[in-house]
Structure formats: structure tokens, C-alpha cells
Amino acid sequence: MSDTRDLLVEIGTEELPPKALLRLSAAFAEGVQRGLQDAALAPASVEHHAAPRRLALLVRSVPVAQQDRETVRRGPALAAAFDDDGCPTQAALGFARSCGVAVEALDRLETPKGSWLVYRSVQPGRATAELVPDIVEQALGGLPVPRRMRWGDGDVEFVRPVHWVVLLFGDEPIRARILGVESGRHSRGHRFHHPDPIYIGEPDAYLPILETEGQVLADHRTRREAIRAQVLEQAAALDGTAVIDEELLDEVTALVEWPVALSGRFDAGFLEVPAEALISSMQDHQKYFPVTGADGRLMPHFITVANIASRDPEQIRAGNERVIRPRLADADFFWKQDRRQPLAARAQGLKNMVFQERLGSLYDKQMRIASLATAIADSIGGNPDWAGRAAHLCKCDLLTSMVYEFPELQGVMGRYYA
């Protein structure tokens, strides 16, 4: 049977873990594709889409049913199946009885290795709509979820509570119970802009109608590029350039369904703190994009991405400016506090930090590094004193407040404090 249809699968949930969103989406697609292939319903392709409150698949050109399958069950050799008079033997009668048919319904199979009595039967293919619910359930059960949640009074488990499920095969919904929820053809829009059900007429209508009616950009790639463009536009309006970390961009994309970028500012006095510390504070804690000027230096501005088209964007801007201030104040405090003590004076404290049980403390490691650095510098015509001093200081910033708060700045802050 050559008739095919597109299949839409959407699992609507509470907000999914942002750092795991793409991994869950890809694994869901792989699971459904594998299930369809195992059921002899191989699709042309599987597109996976992910947003904070949904995992969706657009499965292209799925056969409407399995092909009928002929099975051949081999019985006794013809020589043992009939006697000299051509009458069936007990072997033939027993084989026919086990197949549930008369001997006359059996067929003969000629092979290079001999002739056999066989039973041929045709197993009708099952409709795809009957098989999809189990395939989806198995794919969901196989997702890489370290911890699953339970909700309500049932025993259903998933990474987050499930609120709706869409199963649409062509223009017909598939009725089933998936993760404790009855499936249908109604999705949901943005939590605030359009929380009401949205009718999906066919799989191809899914992405466009969610965008135009539901104010949801369900495709991760589309949403990601929209955020990038908005962030760059906001930075350009400030005569600056946005610092876009690709991992942060992925995370922000997984946090919003309808991105709206807004710029904010902070006290220029904080720019006395090393830029790396300010950037870490903005990116790691607040998910903001820093802005640099034409000279490459940090500007007292940031770009945030809201998940709503607010009627009062100034309120959102002010709220983010209010939130970032104590974060930057902490970085400023750490910067000033750490500089009260010379970096070299912290070396003795490394004796209390275990590097490895059989290899001593971090102080011991630092001394070994210093010995090697001095020897190497001397052998290549370098300055052994400089190399030795750098090695003696290389781990000292581990004892600073700034590195304790921002571990990724280890080594970077040592350069400033040295």
C-alpha cells in the first residue's frame, strides 16, 4: 500500500529543563523513527521541534498501514509426508493440525536441498493509527531523563507534568491515552498571550498557526535565530556589539517561546571590575548578553530576552536593571576584598587543599609545576625567574572570593591579582 500521510506528535508540558531541551527533542525523534521502522512503517523524515512547554515531531510520509505479510511455515519433507499410495502420513496430518488447516490446504516447496510440505499464510497489516500510540509511549519511556516526576494521584511519570497531547495523522486525530492524558488535535499557545486550545487542522498547519495565533515559535532553530537578530539589533541601537555566547544563546532559546529582546543599563562604576567577572555574572546568573563598544571594552549595558510582548516594556527593563545591580555589586565587593591581600600571600593556604590523596596538596602540585617551569624556561633560553614566579602563583587565585563564586575565572583572576 503506497498511501502515506504526515504525522504530528506534540507533548505539552510544564517548563522543561532548558539545558536538556535539545537532547530530549532529538532523542524523542530518534525513538519514534526507530519505532516506526521496526513496525515496517519507515517515514521519509522526522523533524523535531522544541520549546519550553512542548516537544513536537513532524513525521513525513508515513504509510497508512503495514503491508500484508506472507509467512511460510515449513513442515516435514514430502518423502515423510506421504506414503507410497500418496496418502498423508501422521507427520503430514500432525503438521496440518498444528497449522489449523486440512492437509489439502498445505503447499509444496521445492528447494535445491529437497522438497517440503509448507503452510503459507497472509498476515494482514495493521493500521498505522493503531500502532502510533504504543510507538510514542515507548519513545517517551526511552528518553534520557535522570529524574522523572509524578503528579496528580496517578502513577504516570515524566520529566515534567503533561497537560496536553496532540496525535494527528493526516487530517484525522488519533485517540489514545498518552502519559495519562487523552490525545487529540488541540494544542496550546503562549502561557499568557494565548492559553486557550488551538485547533490543528493538519500537521503542516502546526508551526504557522502556533506562531500567528498562539504567539509561539515552536521551532528551536527559528527561535534561536530570531533571538540572535533581536539581540544584535538592540546592541546596534546602543552603538555597541552584543557578546553572544553560543551556549547561552541555546539556553535562552530553551527558556522562551515568544522572544522579545530589551536593553538595560547598569552603573558605569562597576566597569572598574574586570570585564570577565562582569560578563560571567551577567551570563551565568542572569542570562543576559553583555555589550561592548567599538574599542572592544565592556559598556554599561546588557541585553535581556523576555518571554512576553509586554504592554509596558519599561517595567521589564527596570526590573532587570534592579536585579542585576546586587549581582554586579557582589562582583565589585569580591574584587575589592581579594585585592586587600597579595596573591602570593595565599600560597600557604593551598597546603590545606587536597589535590589527590597520593599526590599531596595543591601547594605540592604548584611547587612541582614551578620546578618544571623553571627547568624548561632555562633549557629554551627563557627567563627561569619569571617562569618560576608565574608557577608559584598559578593556583593561588583558587583561594579568592571571586574564583569561589565564579570557578570558570580561575587563572583569569590570578592574572589581575598578580
How far is the C-alpha of 150 from the C-alpha of 155, rounded, in Å? 6
Stated length of the chain: 418
pLDDT of residue 104: 87
How far is the C-alpha of 257 from the C-alpha of 191, rounded, in Å? 9
**pLDDT 10s digits, 104-123:** 888 888 888 888 888 988 88
C-alpha cell at 410: 580561575
pLDDT band (50, 70, 90) for residue 13: very high
pLDDT of residue 204: 97
Among 197-211, 329-343, 356-370, the minimum mean pLDDT is found in 356-370
pLDDT of residue 33: 98
Average pLDDT over residues 180-205: 96
How far is the C-alpha of 311 from the C-alpha of 271, rounded, in Å? 32
Whether 69 has a pLDDT exceeding 90, the answer reads: no
Whether 83 has a pLDDT exceeding 90, the answer reads: no
Q: Exposed, middle or buried, 56 (CB in 10 Å: 0-12/13-18/19+)?
A: buried
Whether 61 has a pLDDT exceeding 50, the answer reads: yes
Among 39-53, 66-80, 238-252, the minimum mean pLDDT is found in 66-80
Domain boundary assignment for the chain: 4-66+127-212, 69-123, 220-338, 343-417
pLDDT band (50, 70, 90) for residue 86: confident
What mean pLDDT is reported for the chain?
A: 94
For a pLDDT cut of 90, what percent of the chain falls above it?
79
DSSP code per residue over 281-340 = IIIIIH-PEEEE-TTSPEEEEEEEEESS--S-HHHHHHHHHHHHHHHHHHHHHHHHHHTT
pLDDT of residue 1: 43
Name 87's Cβ contacts closer than 8 Å, sequence gap at least 6.
none
**pLDDT 10s digits, 218-232:** 999 999 999 999 999
pLDDT band (50, 70, 90) for residue 358: confident
Q: Are 243 and 289 in contact (CB under 8 A)?
A: yes
Average pLDDT over residues 274-278: 97
pLDDT of residue 2: 58
Listed residue (204, 11, 37) closest to 131, CA to CA: 37
